[in-house]
Homo-oligomer: A and B are copies of this chain.
Amino acid sequence: MRILPSFIAAFLLSACAAPTLRGTGDLGVVIERASGSVAVVDNTARAVLGRVEGLGDLSHASVVFSRDGRHAYVFGRDGGLSKVDLLERKIARRVIQAGNSIGGAISQDGRLVVAQNYQPGGVKAFDAETLELLADIPAAFGDGKQFSKVVGLADVPGSKFAFALFDAGEIWVADLSTPRQPKVTKFRNIGSQPYDGLVTPNGRHYIAGLFGEDGLALVDLWRPEQGARKILANYGKGQEKLPVFKMPHLRGWAVAGGRAYLPAIGRHEVLVVDTATWQEVGRIPVKGQPVFVMARPDGRQIWVNFAFPDYSHVQVIDTLEQKVVQTLSPGKAVLHMEFTPRGEHVWISARDDNRVVVYDTAGFARLAELPVQNPSGIFFTSRAARIGF
């Protein structure tokens, strides 16, 4: 009989003792920008499970998830792309893929992770398993020697990705079904300086906000032959040139019951738009300049946070009543909100109070407070099952 030293047995035991076998459907991450880390959270237990550090500059960081929910892909501002293992709570892989980057997306089938970059301007696609570079799509425009900053990247069905070129005034749709041979469809002259974009929850309409002029650019991805068109011609900073404390995030746009709810720019209003005609059908007064305007998954409520100086409040619009029904004060500097998958709770980050607050969305009870260092974005793994997140 062979023998094994006890320290080997102890090693074997400890190796299998942690991490715990568990489901990943209720996991998530909270960005801790100041420390370059993420808190790994459990939205059933409403608890912080641990922390993964060493993720670089997480200003404006965003996150997508592998289709099995085990890994979070964290896109840093410094071009770092980190694949974080939520079960083992460690960095599984990490590459520096650009000099200045602003977020990413994951393909419908989960096989490709795509980053959008300011410098060098363009889009890069990576194998989701290995982070091997598969495609590099420089955002060349004009004489072909200039490269645009890329914004508003969103996955759409069919292994496609839509994005906008800030400097070029173009919207591109890249078909990556054969990743090493991307096919790019370009929509030119869509408007001046697109600064952000989104795809509607059904993956049909891509919309880019314009910084250089009023209005929004819309492409019907089911009817690409119709080209881009301008909608909501008065949407923007307008003639009065109101002070704008923070350009609102389009990605937060809520679409519910055939209506889209948009943050007005510079005004204390949420705009209501009919998604069949893309005409404005109403305005709802709110407490400040809206930043994120997000629909609860069932579409009954719209939750709104605000730019400075109203950034310690959150308001809730009832879509049946078409008015604000609740005002909450989760803490100082509310930066982001995330609903649990079926919308019974919402998690809200209060950066300057170092906490994430969890509310019941039916009765607005404050259910929990979690200590997180300067929290900003909150992302749950249920995003893996959604289009355009």
A residues whose Cβ falls under 8 Å from a Cβ of B: 1-6, 8-9, 12-13, 15-17, 19, 21-27, 44, 65-71, 87-88, 108-110, 157-159, 177, 202-204, 222-223, 256-258, 276, 297-300, 320, 340-345, 362, 381-382, 384-387
Contacts and interface: CB of A to CB of B under 8 A. Distances in A.
A298 B157 contact: yes
A101 to B, nearest CB: 24
A256 B4 contact: no
Given A23-B69, A298-B203, A362-B157, A342 B8 contact: no
A278 to B, nearest CB: 14
| A interface SS class | loop
A319 to B, nearest CB: 9
Contact of A9 (B9, B204, B257, B385): B9
Closest 3 CB pairs of A and B: A16-B16, A23-B68, A23-B70
Contacts of A385: 25, 341-342, 382, 385
B67 A26 contact: yes
Contacts of A203: 298, 300
A203 B23 CA distance: 26
Contacts of A71: 23
A257 B276 CA distance: 9
B87 A202 contact: no
Contact of A343 (B44, B108, B204): B108
A202 B256 contact: yes
B12 A320 contact: no
A287 to B, nearest CB: 25
Nearest to A275: B258
Contact of A68 (B2, B26, B157, B257): B26
Contacts of A22: 68, 70
A81 to B, nearest CB: 19
Contacts of A177: 362
A202 B25 contact: no
